[in-house]
Amino acid sequence: MFRVQSLLLRTPRWMSQRLSDRCRDVESQLQNSSSSVRPKFCQASKASPKAHSAGFAAQGLLNVRESIRRLQASGGRGSHSFNSAMEASSAVPSELAKGLWEMSQKEAYCALYHPFVVSLAAGSLPLESFGNYIAQDVYYLAAFAEAYGLAIDNTDQPEAKDVLGRLQRHVQEELDQVHISALQSFGLELPDSVLPNAATADYTNFLLAVAKGEFKVPEGLRGGDDDGLEGSESESKRKRKLAAYTIGALTPCMRLYAFLGQEIMRASFSGLGSNPYAKWVETYASADFENASRESEELLQSLASPFSGETDRKNMRSLYARAMELEVDFFAAQPVSSKSIVPLIRSARAANTYFVLVSDFDLTCTVEDSCPVLARSVLSAGDKAEVPHLEAKWQALGDQYSLEHKELLGRLLPPPQQPSKEFNLQGLRQVLHELSDFEREANARVVGSDFLAGLSREAVKQAGSRVAMREGCRPLLTRVALEGRSLRQNLEFHILSVCWSRSFIEGTLSSNALEFANIHCNELQFDDLHVSDGNIDRRIESAVDKEKVLEKILSQAEQNANQNRDSLLIYVGDSVTDLLCLLRADVGIVIGESSSLERMAAAFGIKMLPLYTGLLEREQKSNHGDGENSRSFWPKMDGVLYRVSCWNELNAFLLGS
């Protein structure tokens, strides 16, 4: 949306006339069309790029056309211009908008990692696909402009009317300065006879239904007995609420596009170069678009603040979530190249690939390390008289570990300000072997203290079931299990952990994930009554131990894959004990923040790139015909790891929406 400094070419009169003529033709076609309605609220779109009815009234399109004519007559220009560099943070300002955006992270990453967006970001999107996207987006912009107009009519706040008016004018700027000018730069014109596909129709139907007060919140998502717009409310209050709901349905699109532009720009370390869609990215990555997104979010906060009841809060969440789902569906309906490598496990390129997905557990899957969780279980199960003694014992064990670990790293590693420019695997191995000895000694002290004695197996599992998991982790592991079954032995999943108890890990997993996962870790030793005697069956205590187990996993996986398929190892971890496995993997993915890992990586020349950066590089090479198998479409790079922000990003990369 809005204007790009390098795209200052105004829409020629013949192009404006073509748009008006096109609207008139579409209105005639719509009169004989029926609306496209999906049977389920949250069902993923199955839309193809084929034409479907627009679903919104011809009169509505007439109003939008007249609005566009008036905007063009007045120049349709706001006060904003765009900078080509990404200068703004993606932080969301208002409390309401922040909460709504945070609940939509899964959809946001599914959009970012969608084959259409990835191909566009990599510059490999077929020109025909981009032209189709522009043609479909014109219908959306028309609905967007009309929804703004209806919100202007419904609000009685002068300041809100001013903001809405600016945002409505910017819709025309987006059409003129971004979409039409982009087509012109490729020597293309708006097609004469393209109808909206099903996803576009669903989206425009939704926006206008909300703006007109005709929407119905689905059963199960309602905040009360009504949809938030019925009942004994005065007409003026109803209209004000309707304006707030309308902005709640429009705002996620702006925030999503700001997010997409900024993330693509961040991932393009060397610049967009010859990417033919660079101006599209620069527009949505700009500080001005970020400012406009914030303005929309602040307006949402202002309009929604009088309506803070449970019904209104639930309705607002459902509208925002629905808009995000429809945006992902909109991208999914665009035709893309079959050469795309995302989502990785489900892509056509991976049809003959055997995937081995291995994940660490503590602080990779969980928010908190399992050791203090188990310690709290010991304290809660012990006699009250023993609790002070147990607390002191645990505190002493923890203090000694922290002090000695810090001293050891200080002795083994160079100062943080002296990073290595060369990858040094041999030096890393030497350090990790010394750390392995340290970890074994620390675990021996825990066993020797008898601190874990008396803890029942059931209590350990219950502790696992209560541990906080990283958002998106548990759903993804469940999806991996279901996907593994549907892929007919093309995917296996392992948890490889230094956690003291397998029973603890089992308590965290869903039944599907537990049945599918292969868990490799230690276990408390239980007697015949399933009570711990304080000992640990210590099998995996360090990075060196993990690497040995991983090699066994890979050896078996090669046999499972058979000679006709390539295997691809994906390892997910967060700490120093994961380093050797991360580096051994074809795709080593770091999640979370670990200062020890960061320092170790810097000391031995390990590069950590955003996963999206690596993906764009692979996508570019893949679409240039490089490689026909998993080893070549994602070749292993020595000393290079990839970072993700959360499990929702990992989900989008591996499995998509």
* Shared-domain flag, residues 590 and 444: yes
Confidence bin at 475 (pLDDT 50/70/90): very high
> In this predicted model, which residue has the larger pLDDT, 7 or 115?
115
pLDDT at 201 over 80: yes
Residue 413 is predicted with a pLDDT of 95
Residues 6 or more apart in contact with residue 61 via CB below 8 angstroms? 23, 26, 27, 30, 54, 142
* pLDDT value for 231: 52
* Angle, helices 387-412/425-449, rounded to nearest 10 degrees: 160
Higher pLDDT, 220 or 286: 286
In a domain, 561, yes or no: yes
> Which pLDDT value is given to residue 368?
96
What is residue 389's predicted lDDT score, i.e. its pLDDT? 95
First to last CA, the chain: 25
Instruction: Find the mean pLDDT for residues 312-332.
Output: 96
Smallest CA-to-CA distance from 608 within 633, 634, 644, 632 is with 644
Task: For residue 635, tell me if it sits in a domain.
Answer: yes
Q: Quick one: pLDDT at residue 62?
A: 36
Looking at the fold, whether 251 and 384 belong to one and the same domain comes out as no
Sequence letter at residue 82: F
Maximum distance among all Cα pairs of the chain, rounded to whole angstroms: 88
Strand 566-573 and strand 607-610: pairing? unpaired
**C-beta separation of 565 from 356 below 8 A:** no
- Look up residue 26 and give its two tokens: 């579409």
pLDDT 10s digits, 476-498: 999 999 988 876 668 999 999 99
Specify the length of the chain in residues.
Answer: 657
Residue 104 lies in a domain: yes
Q: How far apart are CA 150 and CA 145, in angstroms?
A: 9
**CATH number of domain containing 406:** 3.40.50.1000
* 227 part of a folded domain: yes
- Predicted local distance difference test score (pLDDT) of residue 114: 97
Q: Provide the pLDDT for residue 230.
A: 54
Query: Do 427 and 473 have their domain in common?
Result: yes
Per-residue confidence (pLDDT) for residue 194, from 0 to 100? 79
| Phi/psi-derived region of residue 382, left when phi > 0, alpha when psi is between -120 and 50, beta in every other case | beta
pLDDT at 611 over 50: yes
Catalytic annotation, residues: 253, 327
User: Is 223's pLDDT higher than 70?
Assistant: no
Domain residues for the domain of 112 are 84-162+197-337
Pick the residue with more confidence: 46 or 375?
375
Q: Poorest-confidence range of 143-147, 213-217, 489-493, 648-652?
A: 213-217
Say if strands 532-537 and 587-591 run parallel, antiparallel, or are unpaired: unpaired
The answer to whether residues 130 and 120 touch, using CB atoms and an 8 Å cutoff, is yes
Rounded to 5 degrees, φ, ψ at 639 are 75, 15
Same domain, 204 and 237: yes
Q: What is the pLDDT of residue 10?
A: 29
**DSSP label of 395:** H
pLDDT exceeds cutoff 60 at 16: no
CA 501 – CA 371 distance, rounded (Å)? 10
Shared domain for 479 and 560, answered yes or no, is: yes
In a domain, 392, yes or no: yes
Give me the number of domains the chain comprises: 2
In this structure, which long-range contacts are made by residues 185-193, counting pairs with CB atoms below 8 Å and at least 24 apart in sequence?
185/279, 186/127, 186/130, 186/131, 186/276, 188/127, 188/131, 189/15, 189/18, 190/15, 190/18, 190/19, 190/22, 190/134, 190/135, 190/138, 191/131, 191/135, 192/18, 192/22, 192/25, 193/25
Which H or E element spans position 63?
A: helix 58-73
For residues 90 and 412, which has the higher predicted lDDT (pLDDT)? 412
Q: What is the CATH number of the domain that holds 282?
A: 1.20.910.10
Note whether 92 and 235 are same-domain residues: yes
Give 3-state DSSP helix, strand, coil % of the chain, rounded to 5.
Answer: 60, 10, 35
Residue matched to tokens 């943080």: 416
143 CA to centre of own chain: 27
Last residue of a domain, one of 292, 308, 337: 337
Whether 182 maps to a domain, the answer reads no
Q: What is the pLDDT of residue 226?
A: 47
Does the pLDDT value for residue 359 go beyond 70? yes
Q: State percent of the chain over pLDDT 70.
A: 80
Asked whether residue 275 falls in the same domain as residue 413, the answer is no
pLDDT of residue 94: 82
* Same domain as 366, residue 239: no
Of 219, 235, 216, residue with least CA distance to 227: 216
The pLDDT tens digits for 277-316 are 998 999 899 998 899 899 999 999 999 999 989 989 999 9
Measured CA angle at 480 (ends 260, 564), to 5 deg: 100
Question: Would you say 544 and 440 are in contact if contact means Cβ atoms under 8 Å apart?
Answer: no
User: Are 493 and 481 spatial neighbours (Cβ–Cβ below 8 Å)?
Assistant: yes
- Tell me: do 364 and 225 sit in the same domain: no
Domain co-membership, 380 together with 456:
yes
| Pairing label, strands 518-520, 523-526 | unpaired
Q: Give tens-digit pLDDT for 69-113.
A: 433 433 332 333 333 332 334 566 689 999 999 999 999 999 999
Residue 418 lies in a domain: yes
Q: Of the candidates 284, 308, 337, which is a domain's last residue?
A: 337
Give the pLDDT confidence of 18-74 residue by residue, as tens digits: 434 434 443 343 333 333 332 222 233 333 433 343 333 333 333 333 433 433 433
Q: Are 581 and 571 in contact (CB under 8 A)?
A: yes
Phi then psi dihedrals of residue 494, to 5 deg: -130, 145
Assess contact for 590 and 645: CB atoms under 8 A. Answer: no
Q: What is the DSSP string of 67-98?
A: HHHHHHHTT---S----SS--------SHHHH
Q: Which range among 160-174, 392-406, 433-447, 637-651 shows the weakest confidence by mean pLDDT?
A: 160-174
User: Is 44 contained in some domain?
Assistant: no
User: Mean pLDDT, the chain, as a whole number?
Assistant: 84
CA 521 → CA 94, 488, 502, 506, 545, distances in Å?
44, 26, 6, 11, 10
* SS3 state of residue 496: strand
Task: Quote the CA–CA distance of 484 and 304 in Å, as a whole number.
Answer: 44
Average pLDDT score over residue span 413-435: 95
Q: Check if the beta carbon of residue 321 is closer than 8 Å to that of residue 103.
A: yes
Query: Do 650 and 600 lie in a common domain?
Result: yes
pLDDT single digits (tens) 235-254: 999 999 999 999 999 999 99
Distance CA 581, CA 542 (A): 11
Cis, bond preceding 343 (omega within 30 deg of 0): yes
Same domain, residue pair 229 and 97: yes
Domain boundary pick from 310, 337, 364: 337
